[in-house]
Chains A and B, each alone.
Chain A
Amino acid sequence: MTPPSSITGRWRTCNYPELLQETWNGETFLFNPASGDTHLLNAAAIHLLEFLHQESASFDQMTDTLFPDADEATLDALATQFHQLMLIGLICEA
């Protein structure tokens, strides 16, 4: 799978330790003090954030580790989700 050009390179979380989180039934509400926004994230998005909080990585490294059996459609969905996490300021270039 080739990620969109906007998500090539290495990535990290922007301010993960500062985020406030509550999880109910697999859905996580996350408050970002830097933006003042509250986001509703699914479990896959939280996995991505937790992984990138531990170490910076490329999109391919991350998906190979977290979702080694993912098919093309799943990877496309993850790429979209990854892009959205960038747009809302939770992931930055390392």
Chain B
Amino acid sequence: MRSLIGEQPVTSLVGMARGPGIGLQTGPFRLRLQCDDRATVELIRRLYSKHPLLDTQTTLFDFSMSLRRPLGLRRWWKPQIKLIADAQTPFEPFPLDHAYPLFEWGYNWHIAMQAHQFLMLHSAVVEKDGMALIMPAMPGSGKSTLCAALMLRGWRLLSDEFGLIRPLDPDLHLHPMPRPIPLKNRSIDVIREFAPDTVMGPIFPQTRKGDVAHLAASQESQTHAEKSVPAGWFLFPQYESATKLEFEELSPGWTFLKITGNSFNYRLQGARGFRAASQLVKNCPAYTLHYSDLDQAIPQIEALHAQLINQRPEQATPAAR
């Protein structure tokens, strides 16, 4: 029987992190993390509680990451933390009290740079009734806020950041990687007001993306992290204060431009990326959404989702892969 991150005593996880590392599985990826910052390990235990803990002795890892406090002056004076990702240092050191955001960005960096077995769309992905809603969007569009709100209304989170598709998969299933959702700046309070009982991690003030707080993936999302789901439709959200809720259907050409432009590795995929993106456009209707109010937007999204499920030539059924 597999062990879960949250089942481990804190002291045990801290010991692993300072020694051989914590083996963390999130969806298709296996990460070995060594870390000498106790607060970060405690937060990982809390936010990744239902993720499998892997044996570092017997697991072949996709990525290896270390978060280390530097030796010398910076260990004590304005202390810092340094990320080492597969023997590279992709970022400058962060202040020690931003170690957890650095862990999350380091994990994203690993995936974006290395996981080319997937066509990676820069998008949030959620699932309901066996069909995925894919929300590609630029930073500041309200993607994470909408994604968090849908999850808090019972949708399964596949990812807030990566739409992962195996480009040779004829059914173009989306693969889950249900990591915490980083809420930024005003969206932290928006989600607190939307779901007052929500448990979030601490606010990390003044990171390079502003204030950031992490919302754990729902238990259902974490425990079904191996269950892929067919692509259903695209929604390109745009939050605008005091705007009228409006959906607009996108043409296939625009959809193709937007999803390939939002992909981390479309160009690198070559012909198989073109075929996969074309097939996605053929299979999945696409809409833009301008919204200002989550309580107004979500019922409309759910109604459209239900309608699109009914219109599919073959009923989407949940499929485990």
- Chain A interface residues toward B at CB < 8 A: 20, 22, 24-25, 27, 29, 31, 33, 36, 38, 40
B253–A33 touching, CB < 8 Å = no
Q: Is the interface of B mostly helix, strand, loop or mixed?
A: helix
User: Within the complex, which residue of A22, A29, A33 is in contact with B271, where a contact is CB–CB below 8 Å?
Assistant: A33
Chain A residues near B267 (CB-CB < 8 A): 36, 38
Chain B contacts to A: CB under 8 angstroms: 251-253, 256-257, 260, 267, 270-271, 274-275, 278, 281
A56 to B278: give the CA distance in the assembly, Å: 30
Is B271 a contact of A20 with CB atoms below 8 Å? yes
Contacts beyond the supplied A24-B253, A25-B251: 16 A-B pairs with Cβ under 8 Å = A20-B271, A20-B278, A22-B278, A22-B281, A24-B252, A24-B256, A24-B281, A29-B256, A29-B274, A31-B274, A33-B270, A33-B271, A36-B267, A36-B270, A38-B260, A38-B267
Q: Once the chains bind, are A40 and B257 in contact (CB under 8 Å)?
A: yes
- A24 partner residues in chain B, CB cutoff 8 A: 251-253, 256, 281
B contact residues around A20 at 8 Å (CB): 271, 274-275, 278
| Residues from chain A with Cβ under 8 Å of B257 in the complex | 40
Residues of B within 8 A of A31 (CB): 271, 274
Query: Contacts A22-B256, A36-B267, A38-B260: A29 and B278 contacting too (C-beta < 8 A)?
Result: yes
In the complex, what's the smallest C-beta–C-beta distance from B251 to chain A, in angstroms? 6
A25 to B257, CA, bound (A): 14
The answer to whether B275 touches A25 (Cβ under 8 A) is no
